[in-house]
Protein backbone atom coordinates (compact mmCIF):
# COMPACT_ATOMS: atom_id res chain seq x y z
CA UNK A 1 0.00 0.00 0.00
CA UNK A 2 1.44 3.36 -1.04
CA UNK A 3 0.94 6.54 0.93
CA UNK A 4 -0.65 9.37 -1.00
CA UNK A 5 -0.05 13.09 -0.62
CA UNK A 6 0.54 14.63 2.82
CA UNK A 7 -1.69 17.58 3.69
CA UNK A 8 0.39 19.56 6.18
CA UNK A 9 -2.33 22.10 6.94
CA UNK A 10 -4.78 19.39 8.04
CA UNK A 11 -2.07 16.95 9.24
CA UNK A 12 -3.59 14.14 7.21
CA UNK A 13 -2.81 11.74 4.40
CA UNK A 14 -4.69 9.25 2.24
CA UNK A 15 -4.22 5.52 1.96
CA UNK A 16 -5.70 3.27 -0.67
CA UNK A 17 -8.00 0.36 0.00
CA UNK A 18 -8.07 -2.95 -1.82
CA UNK A 19 -10.85 -3.64 -4.32
CA UNK A 20 -14.33 -4.30 -2.91
CA UNK A 21 -13.63 -2.64 0.45
CA UNK A 22 -16.70 -0.88 1.85
CA UNK A 23 -16.33 1.44 4.85
CA UNK A 24 -20.06 1.39 5.58
CA UNK A 25 -20.18 -2.38 5.87
CA UNK A 26 -17.31 -2.48 8.32
CA UNK A 27 -18.76 0.30 10.46
CA UNK A 28 -22.24 -1.27 10.42
CA UNK A 29 -20.71 -4.47 11.76
CA UNK A 30 -18.87 -2.65 14.55
CA UNK A 31 -21.98 -0.95 15.88
CA UNK A 32 -23.43 -4.32 16.91
CA UNK A 33 -20.71 -4.83 19.49
CA UNK A 34 -20.49 -3.35 23.02
CA UNK A 35 -18.43 -0.16 23.53
CA UNK A 36 -14.68 -0.64 23.35
CA UNK A 37 -12.53 1.91 25.21
CA UNK A 38 -9.72 1.58 22.65
CA UNK A 39 -11.58 3.29 19.82
CA UNK A 40 -14.62 5.41 19.08
CA UNK A 41 -16.80 5.64 16.02
CA UNK A 42 -18.69 8.90 15.76
CA UNK A 43 -19.52 11.56 13.22
CA UNK A 44 -18.63 9.16 10.43
CA UNK A 45 -15.07 8.48 11.53
CA UNK A 46 -13.02 6.21 13.76
CA UNK A 47 -10.81 7.61 16.51
CA UNK A 48 -8.07 5.77 18.38
CA UNK A 49 -4.67 6.19 19.98
CA UNK A 50 -1.71 4.32 18.50
CA UNK A 51 1.58 3.77 20.29
CA UNK A 52 4.90 3.27 18.49
CA UNK A 53 7.09 3.29 21.58
CA UNK A 54 8.73 6.68 21.24
CA UNK A 55 5.47 8.56 20.68
CA UNK A 56 1.73 7.93 20.86
CA UNK A 57 -0.50 9.28 18.12
CA UNK A 58 -4.16 10.12 18.26
CA UNK A 59 -5.66 9.54 14.83
CA UNK A 60 -8.98 9.66 13.06
CA UNK A 61 -9.86 7.61 9.99
CA UNK A 62 -12.65 8.50 7.59
CA UNK A 63 -13.63 7.61 4.02
CA UNK A 64 -12.61 9.86 1.16
CA UNK A 65 -13.13 9.07 -2.50
CA UNK A 66 -13.91 5.50 -3.51
CA UNK A 67 -10.86 3.39 -2.79
CA UNK A 68 -9.30 5.82 -0.30
CA UNK A 69 -9.36 6.56 3.41
CA UNK A 70 -8.04 9.67 5.12
CA UNK A 71 -5.89 9.35 8.24
CA UNK A 72 -5.61 12.52 10.32
CA UNK A 73 -3.14 13.08 13.18
CA UNK A 74 -4.74 15.17 15.89
CA UNK A 75 -1.88 15.60 18.35
CA UNK A 76 1.09 16.51 16.18
CA UNK A 77 2.82 16.27 12.84
CA UNK A 78 4.34 12.84 12.18
CA UNK A 79 7.53 12.41 10.20
CA UNK A 80 7.46 10.59 6.89
CA UNK A 81 8.58 7.40 8.64
CA UNK A 82 5.87 7.78 11.25
CA UNK A 83 3.27 8.35 8.54
CA UNK A 84 4.34 5.08 6.95
CA UNK A 85 3.99 3.37 10.33
CA UNK A 86 0.53 4.82 10.80
CA UNK A 87 -0.50 3.84 7.28
CA UNK A 88 0.69 0.28 7.89
CA UNK A 89 -1.16 0.12 11.20
CA UNK A 90 -4.45 1.38 9.74
CA UNK A 91 -4.06 -0.94 6.77
CA UNK A 92 -3.76 -3.94 9.08
CA UNK A 93 -6.37 -2.71 11.57
CA UNK A 94 -9.04 -2.32 8.88
CA UNK A 95 -7.77 -5.16 6.66
CA UNK A 96 -7.27 -2.91 3.65
CA UNK A 97 -4.54 -4.74 1.73
CA UNK A 98 -6.03 -8.02 0.58
CA UNK A 99 -8.09 -8.35 -2.57
CA UNK A 100 -10.83 -10.77 -1.52
CA UNK A 101 -12.55 -10.89 -4.90
CA UNK A 102 -11.49 -14.55 -5.29
CA UNK A 103 -13.27 -15.31 -2.00
CA UNK A 104 -16.48 -13.80 -3.34
CA UNK A 105 -16.32 -16.01 -6.42
CA UNK A 106 -16.28 -19.04 -4.13
CA UNK A 107 -18.76 -17.74 -1.56
CA UNK A 108 -21.45 -16.54 -3.98
CA UNK A 109 -22.13 -20.18 -4.94
CA UNK A 110 -21.96 -21.52 -1.38
CA UNK A 111 -25.24 -22.41 0.41
CA UNK A 112 -23.96 -21.12 3.75
CA UNK A 113 -22.32 -17.93 2.50
CA UNK A 114 -24.14 -16.87 -0.66
CA UNK A 115 -26.78 -14.67 0.96
CA UNK A 116 -24.42 -12.94 3.37
CA UNK A 117 -21.73 -12.05 0.83
CA UNK A 118 -24.41 -10.58 -1.41
CA UNK A 119 -25.93 -8.51 1.41
CA UNK A 120 -22.69 -7.48 3.17
CA UNK A 121 -20.26 -7.34 0.27
CA UNK A 122 -17.27 -5.18 1.14
CA UNK A 123 -17.14 -6.23 4.81
CA UNK A 124 -13.60 -6.77 6.13
CA UNK A 125 -12.00 -8.18 9.24
CA UNK A 126 -11.65 -5.63 12.05
CA UNK A 127 -8.22 -6.71 13.18
CA UNK A 128 -6.08 -6.55 16.32
CA UNK A 129 -2.64 -5.80 14.86
CA UNK A 130 -0.84 -5.98 18.22
CA UNK A 131 -0.13 -9.62 19.12
CA UNK A 132 -0.24 -9.01 22.87
CA UNK A 133 -3.61 -7.28 22.66
CA UNK A 134 -5.01 -10.06 20.48
CA UNK A 135 -3.84 -12.78 22.85
CA UNK A 136 -5.12 -10.95 25.93
CA UNK A 137 -8.48 -10.28 24.31
CA UNK A 138 -8.94 -13.89 23.25
CA UNK A 139 -7.98 -15.16 26.72
CA UNK A 140 -10.26 -12.66 28.45
CA UNK A 141 -13.12 -13.71 26.18
CA UNK A 142 -12.81 -17.44 26.81
CA UNK A 143 -16.06 -19.02 28.02
CA UNK A 144 -17.86 -15.76 28.84
CA UNK A 145 -20.54 -13.90 26.93
CA UNK A 146 -19.47 -11.08 24.65
CA UNK A 147 -20.88 -8.29 26.81
CA UNK A 148 -19.00 -9.41 29.91
CA UNK A 149 -15.85 -9.98 27.84
CA UNK A 150 -15.89 -6.33 26.76
CA UNK A 151 -16.49 -5.24 30.35
CA UNK A 152 -13.44 -7.22 31.50
CA UNK A 153 -11.30 -5.92 28.66
CA UNK A 154 -12.23 -2.30 29.34
CA UNK A 155 -11.45 -2.75 33.04
CA UNK A 156 -8.09 -4.26 32.17
CA UNK A 157 -7.20 -1.41 29.80
CA UNK A 158 -8.42 1.38 32.08
CA UNK A 159 -6.59 -0.07 35.08
CA UNK A 160 -3.22 -0.81 33.51
CA UNK A 161 -3.13 1.12 30.24
CA UNK A 162 -2.04 4.68 29.52
CA UNK A 163 -4.01 7.29 27.61
CA UNK A 164 -3.84 10.45 25.54
CA UNK A 165 -5.96 13.24 26.94
CA UNK A 166 -7.51 15.21 24.10
CA UNK A 167 -10.30 17.74 24.45
CA UNK A 168 -11.00 16.45 27.96
CA UNK A 169 -11.44 12.84 26.75
CA UNK A 170 -9.19 9.90 27.51
CA UNK A 171 -8.09 7.88 24.48
CA UNK A 172 -6.75 4.63 25.88
CA UNK A 173 -3.72 2.59 24.83
CA UNK A 174 -3.53 -1.12 25.51
CA UNK A 175 -1.33 -2.05 28.50
CA UNK A 176 2.29 -2.84 27.70
CA UNK A 177 3.43 -6.43 28.20
CA UNK A 178 6.41 -5.24 30.29
CA UNK A 179 3.99 -3.82 32.85
CA UNK A 180 1.66 -6.83 32.93
CA UNK A 181 4.64 -9.19 33.21
CA UNK A 182 5.47 -7.73 36.63
CA UNK A 183 2.00 -8.09 38.10
CA UNK A 184 0.75 -10.74 40.53
CA UNK A 185 -2.47 -12.70 40.35
CA UNK A 186 -3.83 -10.50 43.14
CA UNK A 187 -3.33 -7.44 40.95
CA UNK A 188 -5.65 -8.85 38.27
CA UNK A 189 -8.34 -10.79 40.08
CA UNK A 190 -10.07 -7.65 41.48
CA UNK A 191 -11.11 -6.97 37.86
CA UNK A 192 -13.24 -10.16 38.13
CA UNK A 193 -10.77 -12.18 36.09
CA UNK A 194 -10.36 -15.75 37.25
CA UNK A 195 -7.01 -16.68 38.75
CA UNK A 196 -6.40 -18.97 35.80
CA UNK A 197 -6.94 -16.19 33.25
CA UNK A 198 -4.87 -13.77 35.31
CA UNK A 199 -2.03 -16.27 35.26
CA UNK A 200 -2.34 -16.75 31.51
CA UNK A 201 -2.19 -13.00 30.87
CA UNK A 202 0.90 -12.61 33.03
CA UNK A 203 2.55 -15.62 31.39
CA UNK A 204 1.91 -14.30 27.87
CA UNK A 205 3.24 -10.87 28.88
CA UNK A 206 6.39 -12.47 30.26
CA UNK A 207 6.88 -14.55 27.11
CA UNK A 208 6.61 -11.47 24.89
CA UNK A 209 8.82 -9.36 27.17
CA UNK A 210 11.48 -12.06 27.23
CA UNK A 211 11.41 -12.48 23.46
CA UNK A 212 9.99 -16.00 23.51
CA UNK A 213 6.94 -14.94 21.54
CA UNK A 214 6.72 -12.29 18.84
CA UNK A 215 4.65 -11.56 15.77
CA UNK A 216 7.50 -11.48 13.28
CA UNK A 217 8.72 -14.95 14.25
CA UNK A 218 5.20 -16.35 14.02
CA UNK A 219 4.76 -14.92 10.53
CA UNK A 220 7.93 -16.72 9.46
CA UNK A 221 6.49 -20.12 10.38
CA UNK A 222 5.77 -22.42 7.46
CA UNK A 223 1.96 -22.20 7.59
CA UNK A 224 -0.99 -21.49 9.84
CA UNK A 225 -0.79 -24.95 11.37
CA UNK A 226 2.80 -24.28 12.48
CA UNK A 227 1.81 -20.84 13.77
CA UNK A 228 -1.02 -22.34 15.82
CA UNK A 229 1.25 -25.06 17.19
CA UNK A 230 3.74 -22.44 18.31
CA UNK A 231 1.05 -20.33 20.00
CA UNK A 232 -0.38 -23.34 21.81
CA UNK A 233 2.91 -23.92 23.58
CA UNK A 234 1.87 -21.14 25.95
CA UNK A 235 -0.53 -21.69 28.82
CA UNK A 236 -4.01 -20.38 28.17
CA UNK A 237 -3.73 -20.72 24.38
CA UNK A 238 -5.83 -23.58 23.10
CA UNK A 239 -6.94 -24.30 19.55
CA UNK A 240 -9.74 -21.71 19.46
CA UNK A 241 -7.53 -18.97 20.91
CA UNK A 242 -4.74 -19.76 18.47
CA UNK A 243 -7.12 -19.77 15.49
CA UNK A 244 -8.68 -16.48 16.61
CA UNK A 245 -5.26 -14.83 16.91
CA UNK A 246 -4.23 -16.18 13.52
CA UNK A 247 -7.31 -14.57 12.03
CA UNK A 248 -7.37 -11.28 13.90
CA UNK A 249 -3.71 -10.46 14.60
CA UNK A 250 -1.75 -12.33 11.92
CA UNK A 251 -4.44 -11.85 9.24
CA UNK A 252 -4.11 -15.36 7.89
CA UNK A 253 -6.93 -15.86 5.38
CA UNK A 254 -7.04 -19.62 5.98
CA UNK A 255 -7.36 -19.35 9.78
CA UNK A 256 -10.54 -21.10 10.88
CA UNK A 257 -11.78 -20.94 14.49
CA UNK A 258 -13.91 -24.01 13.96
CA UNK A 259 -14.71 -24.24 17.67
CA UNK A 260 -16.23 -20.76 17.77
CA UNK A 261 -19.76 -20.72 19.15
CA UNK A 262 -20.72 -17.86 16.84
CA UNK A 263 -19.75 -19.84 13.75
CA UNK A 264 -21.66 -22.86 15.01
CA UNK A 265 -24.77 -20.81 15.82
CA UNK A 266 -24.68 -19.06 12.45
CA UNK A 267 -24.55 -22.34 10.54
CA UNK A 268 -27.27 -23.81 12.76
CA UNK A 269 -29.55 -20.84 11.97
CA UNK A 270 -28.82 -20.79 8.23
CA UNK A 271 -29.58 -24.50 7.96
CA UNK A 272 -32.66 -24.22 10.17
CA UNK A 273 -31.45 -26.90 12.56
CA UNK A 274 -32.15 -27.43 16.23
CA UNK A 275 -28.61 -28.61 16.98
CA UNK A 276 -25.26 -26.98 16.32
CA UNK A 277 -23.09 -28.60 13.65
CA UNK A 278 -20.14 -30.67 14.82
CA UNK A 279 -16.59 -29.50 14.24
CA UNK A 280 -16.17 -32.41 11.84
CA UNK A 281 -19.15 -31.23 9.82
CA UNK A 282 -17.87 -27.66 9.77
CA UNK A 283 -14.48 -28.80 8.52
CA UNK A 284 -16.21 -30.66 5.72
CA UNK A 285 -18.14 -27.52 4.76
CA UNK A 286 -14.90 -25.56 4.88
CA UNK A 287 -13.25 -27.73 2.24
CA UNK A 288 -14.93 -25.55 -0.37
CA UNK A 289 -13.62 -22.37 1.34
CA UNK A 290 -10.01 -23.53 1.33
CA UNK A 291 -7.65 -20.60 1.68
CA UNK A 292 -10.49 -18.24 2.69
CA UNK A 293 -11.78 -19.75 5.93
CA UNK A 294 -11.21 -16.55 7.93
CA UNK A 295 -13.46 -14.57 5.60
CA UNK A 296 -16.08 -17.30 5.64
CA UNK A 297 -15.98 -17.02 9.44
CA UNK A 298 -16.42 -13.25 9.25
CA UNK A 299 -19.48 -13.46 7.00
CA UNK A 300 -21.00 -16.18 9.18
CA UNK A 301 -20.52 -13.93 12.20
CA UNK A 302 -22.21 -11.10 10.33
CA UNK A 303 -25.39 -13.14 9.92
CA UNK A 304 -25.78 -13.24 13.70
CA UNK A 305 -26.61 -9.52 13.61
CA UNK A 306 -28.88 -9.54 10.60
CA UNK A 307 -31.41 -6.74 10.75
- Catalytic positions are 260
Backbone φ and ψ of 208, nearest 5°:
-70, -45
Residue 171: how many CA atoms within 13 Å on its side-chain side?
A: 21
Write the CB contacts of 280 (distance below 8 Å, at least 6 apart in sequence).
Answer: none
Cα separation of 259 and 277, whole Å? 10
Cα separation of 18 and 98, whole Å? 6
Q: Dihedral of CA 160/154/264/304: which sign?
A: negative
Q: Dihedral of CA 297/300/302/305: which sign?
A: negative
| Sheet architecture: strand order including 68-73 | 3-7, 12-16, 68-73, 56-63, 45-51, 39-42
Write the CB contacts of 121 (distance below 8 Å, at least 6 apart in sequence).
Answer: 20, 22, 25, 104
Amino acid sequence: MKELSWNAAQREFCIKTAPSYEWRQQMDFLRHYPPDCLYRYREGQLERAVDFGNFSWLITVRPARQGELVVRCLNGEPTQTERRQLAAFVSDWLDLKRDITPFYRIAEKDPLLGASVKKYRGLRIFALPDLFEALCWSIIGQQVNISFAYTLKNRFVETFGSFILWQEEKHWLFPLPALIAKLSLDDLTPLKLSRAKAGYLIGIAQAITQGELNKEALLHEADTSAMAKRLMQFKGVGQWTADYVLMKALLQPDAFPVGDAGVQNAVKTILGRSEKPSEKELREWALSWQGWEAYATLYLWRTLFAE
